[in-house]
Structure 1
Amino acid sequence: MARNDAHAMRLAMTNPIPPANLQPVDRLTLRGEPDAPALVLKNRTLDYAGLEADVARLAGWLAGLNIEPGARAATWAGKGWLTCLMPLAAPRAGLIHVPINPLLKRAQVAHILYDSGAALLVANRGRLAGLETGDLPDDCLEVEEGDAELAAAGATPMAPSNGSPDDLAAILYTSGSTGRPKGVMLSHANLWLGAEAVADYLALEPDDRTLAVLPLAFDYGQNQLLSTWFAGACAVPIDYLLARDVVRAVAKHAITTLAAVPPLWTQLLEQEWPPESVEPLRRLTNSGGALAEPLVRRLRERFPEARLFAMYGLTEAFRSTFLPPEMIDVYPTSIGGSIPHAEVLVVKDDGTLAGPGEEGELVHAGPLVAGGYWRDAERSAERFRLAPPGSRYGGMAVWSGDRVRYDSKGLLHFVGRRDAMIKSLGQRISPQEIEEAALATGLVAECVAIGVPDENLGQAVHLVARASPDTDPGQAAAELVQALRRELPSYMQPQVVHWRDALPKGATGKLDRASLMHELLGVTN
């Protein structure tokens, strides 16, 4: 058996590693050399000694507010001193951090504040002014972001905490593509082990510099900071308006590690990348959606010296799988196998475990599994259930609702979400398979396949697409149908192709499949 094939079989097996040396998440400030750069902000750079000092003072200010232990402290602001330090300072002060994506609107923010029962909201002046009467829970303290930083500068520092790894440290709210956002409860252990696991398999080093472009309220976005600090490396958070801003930031800060979701990679590849923006990059990491083969090929062509990590994760268990970069040229559509501290199982419809060549639901067990949804026992019971027979960890597991399959080498491939699968003419169709076929033509930059109710077919396949920048939309419309007829069986052919200048994206940058679904529900042939 070839070395890569043997490695593939090992990856797809369960990979439980007993947690060791667990610490409260706020102790990440102690991981780097005191004088090594830890955080680059717009107006200053903090070394690890400065990061620890500022976290200590921010925690001291929070403790001085006399909010009861375990209360929820929410932040609603762009990337800056406050939002980068609160994930460590709030749990050090005995509070639970609730980061709110700055892209969310007032009604969504009000839901999160009430659902979490927030006792504190720190936001910038404009966002606070946009709130209306009744948007905040009773007795929720409002503090302007700049005022909080000034107050913290004079606070009595708090020493690193010694709390239990099982104590709740954060509640991260999902994007709410189906129903209202749910608050995922994360412990110190969840955050610490997630940081350790990613720093380990990415092989982050103290001289690495991570460009944090993803929202910090997104689990993948927050881990950009935590895994970087676990490695004693430097994080550079930015809020960007245009994709070219990211390209410039990579060159300006000599970035070695860049994380993105597929729609952002598509935008980035449409930019000009001068040599000074390409050369520093050592690794690219993807999650938040599967990489289609054409996108993998383009990334490898544009960044031939950077290691490309394809990953799969879900907020309820943070991260489940990754594919080692040395395998991606041979297995470009695989999501690999389990990460450290994770046990990944594939459960068939009959309840038994799948093997090579078989498909089923991905189930994640082990210490990365979150504590359920905040104050939502009903939805927690749907997603968090006992691990299936055969689990080496046992206990509570996350039943993802995502369909995956093993290939003949034992590697995992994402098929699609159970609730997004299309059923047409009695056939179960993966939207991703249609999308990958469309992208492979080179005529389409990004697309979403959706099943629309149809009296004769059960569901008709509709494809919403944006033409590639170097392709005339009229030409793309004429050629795409013929190309798909050559590549896909008749039952998978789109009945309608909707061409758009842009596709909607959610707060985390992923394509907003749910909003397109709602839009197309009234569409008929």
Structure 2
Amino acid sequence: MQERSPDATPCRLDWLARRGARAAPALADRAGTLDHAGLDAAVGALAAHLAERSAPGDRIASWLPKTRLACLLPLACARAGRVHVPINPLLKPGQVGHILADAEAALLISQPARLALLPPGGAMLPEAALAAGHDAALPPSTGDAGALAALLYTSGSTGRPKGVMLSHANLWLGALSVAHYLALAPDDRTLAVLPLSFDAGLNQMLASWAAGAMIAPLDYLVPADVVKAVERHAITVLTGVPPLWIQLAEARWPEATAARLRTIATTGGRLPVAVVRRLRALFPAARLHLMYGLTEAFRATSLDPALVDAHPDAIGTAIPFAEVLVLRPDGREAAPDEPGELVQAGPLVAQGYWRDPARTALRFRPAPAAARAGGVAVWSGDTVVRGADGLLRFVGRDDEMIKVSGNRISPTEIEEAAIASGAAREAVALGVADARLGQAILLLVRGAPDQDPDAADAVLRAFLKAELAGFQQPGTIRWVADFPRNPNGKLDRAAIRAEALR
């Protein structure tokens, strides 16, 4: 039986390798299957290699696909007393160079072909040099769980990427929290499709190990690769971002393969209600968790799967160890159904931005008086409402809200309606300057590749006219073949806007 609530005592991150049954599988990849005893041994050996090549507190960067070494590094760096800096493998050399310089990385671990793309200089090491065992493998670490364990760099869609500082306690408690509310069990098998440099991607791996379960890392090219991997590894748990779930909802799922999944979850943005309905029909036996989180606090909310059918537009309530408030601009708590900014307090809140006190001060501030947790809270920049039912619902990013003739409009509402029409698979609503209205709505939509464009356009326009108020009607609807996406697989709204307004 699942414990009533997870243990709130923080621990050093590398102790996750000691939570699973020793002979139970922990990692399945092209190299074979590693049990939890083997995971612990491999972490200890890799930590010994890192200790020989760096000093305590050094930042160890990795620029790798989901190889076995990439999966071991978060725990190995923690065991060696180093700070892990995972870099998304989709980033370009110039972006990688910025992160290396900003983090003052003492060592970069990558593949020879990738290392050859970077300017000479600095300590670079091919991952093969760390693949062997070590005679003096390090035991589990001791020390302060509040010490820095990782720097996760944001995607940098606006401005230069910034490194979010996460402690051992942040990562440990985040893993236990997610493992608890997803009800992960030792016999679960998680398909790790999200980048390990993305907070949700890292967390899905750590949470699986916290539960004593197994992960199967996957770098996929097309959604069909995900379907095949679910079958190949007998996967039971799958987490994705909304654009991936939209594609997976369109994919062909053999009935037996779909039936294997017992836990599915989405994060990194709101999943359109029409897609929620489709996933519930496609995976009727699976628990669907609608989650919300921000890198600066790892995870924040989740909707109980039992409530998804009745409230598919909600992001739920605070997860274990998180305290979530909805605040007015004056700092007071918003009333039920009143929009406000989501503010999170508690031990999951990160330590700020790496060596960036100015931007840290903008987002990380003393917790408001209404917060029970005290300490530091993070202001998300996201507008939400808490309904009379106690459930939170996402409205939109403050910097993405559209204002037409004085009416404040959530782009999410326009996008949801477009997808609900059945004519659009994905949609992005933007506010563009308009001399008469202040802003007008530009709606970009991606349809099915085989649909009649004129018929689809007519269906979409008729649906929007029937479902949305006059001031919410798009001034322009533009059909696109696809949307730019960031390295984490989410829609890159900055790139979409720049391309649309070019």
Which TM class, normalised by the smaller chain length? over 0.9
Find the counterpart in structure 2 of residue 517 from structure 1.
Answer: 497
Alignment partner of 1:20 is 2:8: yes
Map Cα deviations across residues 106-152 of structure 1 (whole Å, 9 max, x no partner).
Answer: 1111110001000100001111111135xx6xxx31001122213xx
Question: Among 166, 184, 187, which residue is 1:207 paired with?
Answer: 187
Find the counterpart in structure 2 of residue 3 from structure 1.
Answer: none
Find the counterpart in structure 2 of residue 424 from structure 1.
Answer: 404
TM-score, L = length of structure 2: 0.97
Change (3 A) 1:240 1:155: farther
Find the counterpart in structure 1 of residue 93 from structure 2.
Answer: 106
Q: Distance in 2 between matches of 1:443 and 1:286?
A: 23
Find the counterpart in structure 1 of residue 128 from structure 2.
Answer: 146
Q: Distance in 1 between matches of 2:461 and 2:259?
A: 39
Q: Distance in 2 between matches of 1:222 and 1:375?
A: 22
Partner amino acid, structure 1, of 2:148: L
Q: CA RMSD in A?
A: 1.3
Q: Distance in 2 between matches of 1:48 and 1:332?
A: 37
- Tell me by how many angstroms 1:155 deviates: 4.8
- Tell me by how many angstroms 1:359 deviates: 1.3
Contact 1:270 1:469 in 2 (8 A): no
Question: Among 53, 58, 67, which residue is 1:80 paired with?
Answer: 67
Alignment partner of 1:335 is 2:315: yes
Structure 1, gaps ≥5 residues long: 1-16
Contact 2:6 2:180 in 1 (8 A): no
Q: Distance in 1 between matches of 2:167 and 2:333?
A: 29
Instruction: Please give the residue correspondences for 1:253-264 in structure 2 after superposition, counting only pairs within 5 Å.
Output: 253-264=233-244
Map Cα deviations across residues 234-263 of structure 1 (whole Å, 9 max, x no partner).
Answer: 111111111101001101111000000110
Secondary structure, aligned partner of 1:477: helix
Q: Distance in 1 between matches of 2:131 and 2:427?
A: 43
- Tell me by how many angstroms 1:436 deviates: 0.4
Find the counterpart in structure 2 of residue 13 from structure 1.
Answer: none
Map Cα deviations across residues 344-380 of structure 1 (whole Å, 9 max, x no partner).
Answer: 0000133210232221000000000000000000000
Alignment partner of 1:398 is 2:378: yes
Find the counterpart in structure 2 of residue 50 from structure 1.
Answer: 38
Identity of aligned residues (%): 55
- Tell me by how many angstroms 1:469 deviates: 4.5
Q: Distance in 1 between matches of 2:41 and 2:483?
A: 44
Q: Distance in 1 between matches of 2:389 and 2:134?
A: 59
Partner amino acid, structure 2, of 1:105: K
Q: Distance in 1 between matches of 2:270 and 2:448?
A: 19
Q: Distance in 1 between matches of 2:322 and 2:335?
A: 18
Partner amino acid, structure 2, of 1:45: T
Find the counterpart in structure 2 of residue 14 from structure 1.
Answer: none
Q: Distance in 2 between matches of 1:61 and 1:355?
A: 55
> Could you say which structure has the greater relative contact order, defined with CA pairs below 8 angstroms and 6 or more residues apart?
1
Question: Among 44, 67, 71, which residue is 2:58 paired with?
Answer: 71
Structure 2, gaps ≥5 residues long: none
Find the counterpart in structure 1 of residue 50 from structure 2.
Answer: 62
Q: Distance in 2 between matches of 1:19 and 1:384?
A: 26
- Tell me by how many angstroms 1:50 deviates: 0.5
Secondary structure, aligned partner of 1:300: helix
Question: Among 78, 82, 97, which residue is 1:91 paired with?
Answer: 78
Contact 1:437 1:484 in 2 (8 A): yes
Find the counterpart in structure 2 of residue 388 from structure 1.
Answer: 368
Secondary structure, aligned partner of 1:483: helix
Contact 2:6 2:320 in 1 (8 A): no
Question: Among 83, 91, 110, which residue is 1:123 paired with?
Answer: 110
Instruction: Please give the residue correspondences for 1:426-445 in structure 2 after superposition, counting only pairs within 5 Å.
Output: 426-445=406-425
Q: Distance in 2 between matches of 1:201 and 1:113?
A: 35
